[in-house]
Amino acid sequence: MNQIFTVTGMTCGHCEKAVTRALLQADPQAQVQIDRAQNRVEVASDKPRAALAEAIAEEGYTVAAA
């Protein structure tokens, strides 16, 4: 299931890698696509949306409410 998050605070490639790593720790099977310019993170995962959002937030980024 594709889930789209609006994530603010990503300013560089390292930020993208941190968010990707966090999501893959939450779901190793996830497919992650990030468009930093649009603050958009798209995740193909069967994990609950809240769990994925929490993984992003734990890295220090803000996830906008859906």
Domain locations along the chain: 2-63
Task: Give the three-state DSSP class for 7.
Answer: strand
pLDDT at 62: 96
Give yes or no for residue 66 having a pLDDT over 90.
no
**Mean pLDDT, residues 38-58:** 97
The verdict on domain 2-63 having CATH code 3.40.50.150 is no
- 8 Å CB contact between 55 and 22: yes
The mean predicted confidence, pLDDT, of the chain is 96
Q: Which helix (H) or strand (E) holds 2?
A: strand 2-8
